[in-house]
Amino acid sequence: MTPDPAATAPVPPRTPGDDADWWRQAVVYQVYPRSFADSDGDGLGDLRGVTSRIPHLRSLGVDAVWLSPFYPSALADGGYDVDDYRAVDPRLGTLEDFDAMAAALHAAGIRLIVDIVPNHSSNRHAWFREALAAPPGSPARDRYLFRDGGGPDGSLPPSDWQSVFGGPAWTRVTEPDGTPGQWYLHLFAAEQPDLNWDNPEVRQDFLTTLRFWADRGVDGFRVDVAHALAKDLTEPLPSAAEIADAAHGTHPLWDRDEVHAIYTEWREVLDSYTPPRTAVAEAWVHASRRARYAVPGGLGQAFNFDLLQADWDAKQFRTVVTDNLAQAAESGASSTWVLSNHDVVRHATRYGLPPGGGRHGQGQDGVDWLLTGGTSPVLDAELGLRRARAATLLMLALPGSAYLYQGEELGLHEVADIPADRRQDPTFFRSGGTEVGRDGCRVPLPWTADGPSFGFGDGPAHLPQPAWFAALAADVQERDPHATLTLYREALAWRRRLQGPEELEWVEGSGEGVLHLRRPGGWQSVTNFGPEPVDLPPGILAVASGPLEDGRLPADTTAWLV
């Protein structure tokens, strides 16, 4: 791989210290490791690849990396099907590589958050193999959610529940004697059997896993599907229709109140470290329920996905910001802002589609779960990127922590045209292809304009990269003052300089399509969602998401004034 030219950029060192509040306004960069950088040319990104690109992260100016699963996995769900929670996938490296990566990140002043996947293991996990070899009713089966089937011969699933990825949420096993047997619950793919969180051994083992990574210097955890662990499978099981409109806290599968007892236990472990290890819940729950996950005695922070579900609309953005700051005040956590991640259509693409575009799939609680769908002929790529840059600059002006997803700093769009035979996302297969799935935002990054996989590695990448990646490669943007990469770097540098208390004041009077906010110290951010240029308030321009027009702020542009 060609060395990153950003390695030479002068950046003041920032060593992580013992500040227990480091996460409150941190900029966290999500690395999806299999698609970030490939050090050995096998087409899959790996941990040494991450280490090799730390100069990029450092020159970008992020405070932390969130590493998506890097554990041994058959990749039935991109690594969210974990075979062993306390090991590294050999294709991605070794525990020594992990330690070296963590040390190098820390030396660069960047903290490390790892993904933990407690709702389900993979079907290759030692526990699940043991469960399959053991008889019904055995302690080995009790670590999962096995039930007898319905009908005279047990050939019907125990209920008609559907998995989030499509198709039934139950799969029947073959008993050790070769006869058709019990069914197990999987809220996601069949390769992801749900664990039984009423089982004390399951609970203990995850505490061991938390300690294992915290002892290795991990600074925090991102908790996958945090709202699903507690379940009520009291029989007779209700039908999907019966639970469709369950009141909050009463759904047998999602967001049950008992789940918080688990996180109280986790918090004790996390708080036994100095500084306390952080945790952020991935919980697609109703806004009114989010604070329960975010309280200091619980996980401590919870994602809000409201911004990434909002259209490019001043009113919607303002409501999302106001509501989430109020919720943060209620829980005591800081808010979390996200525009893109590995589960949704990249925001540059979403904003180039008609309102609501790129949005598919309803999840539990009526919350949009996946924003899939890829691009369509109506995509206006230029408009999308322009708005994405403006949205990012607005997001970075907000109090709280901001989560960036790898490649958004290059202004990448969703890759829409992945051939069916190259697709990997179980959503695609389980929906019979009606949902294209999430591969389009997981295509390996372009680091250089040429090379077999645009500098990702020395061989072809595991998902096909489009020709248009060349123009957006990191090394091309390095030389361009107007590049999206340059904007991100400037914005993060200004943010670090200007950051003050977690307060925000709206400034009224700029017109309907304009959001104007002020942060302590007089830092202001103005976003023009409307079609016509608007005047900027007095102040010195620090950074703008696009060029001004005769000193005025054009449509779909954000500017920061100091």
- For ligand GLC, the binding residues (CB under 6 A) are 77, 80, 117, 188, 224-225, 282, 342-343
Q: Nearer Cβ to ligand GLC, position 282 or 414?
A: 282
CB-CB contact of 113 with 280 (8 Å): yes
Quote the CA–CA distance of 468 and 451 in Å, as a whole number: 14
Q: How far is the CB of 170 from ligand GLC (least distance, A)?
A: 17
Q: How far is the CB of 194 from ligand GLC (least distance, A)?
A: 10
Quote the CA–CA distance of 316 and 433 in Å, as a whole number: 32
Task: Say whether the peptide bond before residue 158 is cis (omega within 30 degrees of 0).
Answer: no
Q: Nearer Cβ to ligand GLC, position 435 or 556?
A: 435
Over the range 187-207, which residues count as b (16 or more CB within 10 Å of their CB) and which as e? bbbbbbbbbbbebeebbebbe
Burial category of 446 from C-beta neighbours within 10 Å (exposed 0-12, middle 13-18, buried 19 and up): buried
Quote the CA–CA distance of 562 and 322 in Å, as a whole number: 22
- Kindly compute the dihedral angle of the four CA atoms of residues 117, 121, 126, 132, in this order, to the nearest 10 degrees: 160
Q: How far is the CB of 201 from ligand GLC (least distance, A)?
A: 21
CA atoms within 13 A on the CB side of 2: 17
Q: How far is the CB of 486 from ligand GLC (least distance, A)?
A: 30
Q: How far is the CB of 78 from ligand GLC (least distance, A)?
A: 6
Q: In this structure, is the dihedral angle defined by the CA atoms of residues 467, 338, 292 and 236, taken in order, positive or negative?
A: negative
Residue with the closest Cβ to ligand GLC? 80
Q: Nearer Cβ to ligand GLC, position 275 or 426?
A: 426
Phi-psi region of 410 (alpha: psi -120 to 50; beta: other; left: phi over 0): alpha
Place of tokens 């952020």: 280
Over the range 399-412, which residues count as b (16 or more CB within 10 Å of their CB) and which as e? bbbbbbbbbbbbbb
Q: Nearer Cβ to ligand GLC, position 372 or 558?
A: 372
Q: How far is the CB of 342 from ligand GLC (least distance, A)?
A: 6
Q: How far is the CB of 282 from ligand GLC (least distance, A)?
A: 6
Q: Nearer Cβ to ligand GLC, position 4 or 89?
A: 89
Q: Nearer Cβ to ligand GLC, position 51 or 73?
A: 73
Q: Nearer Cβ to ligand GLC, position 63 or 77?
A: 77
Q: Nearer Cβ to ligand GLC, position 185 or 225?
A: 225
Quote the CA–CA distance of 5 and 10 in Å, as a whole number: 11
Q: Nearer Cβ to ligand GLC, position 82 or 559?
A: 82
- Per-residue three-class SS string for 481-545: CCCHHHHHHHHHHHHHHHCCCCCCEECCCCCCCEEEEEECCCEEEEEECCCCCECCCCCCEEEEC
Q: Nearer Cβ to ligand GLC, position 80 or 144?
A: 80
Q: How far is the CB of 341 from ligand GLC (least distance, A)?
A: 7
Q: How far is the CB of 77 from ligand GLC (least distance, A)?
A: 5
Quote the CA–CA distance of 158 and 166 in Å, as a whole number: 17
Q: How far is the CB of 222 from ligand GLC (least distance, A)?
A: 9
CA distances to 44, 214, 415 from 423, in Å? 15, 35, 11
Which residues lie across from 344 on neighbouring strands? Answer: 371
CB-CB contact of 343 with 370 (8 Å): yes
Q: How far is the CB of 155 from ligand GLC (least distance, A)?
A: 28
- Per-residue three-class SS string for 186-254: CCCCCCCCEECCCCHHHHHHHHHHHHHHHHCCCCEEEECCCCCCCCCCCCCCCCHHHHCCCCCCCCCCC
Q: Nearer Cβ to ligand GLC, position 224 or 255?
A: 224
Q: How far is the CB of 383 from ligand GLC (least distance, A)?
A: 28
Q: Nearer Cβ to ligand GLC, position 281 or 515?
A: 281
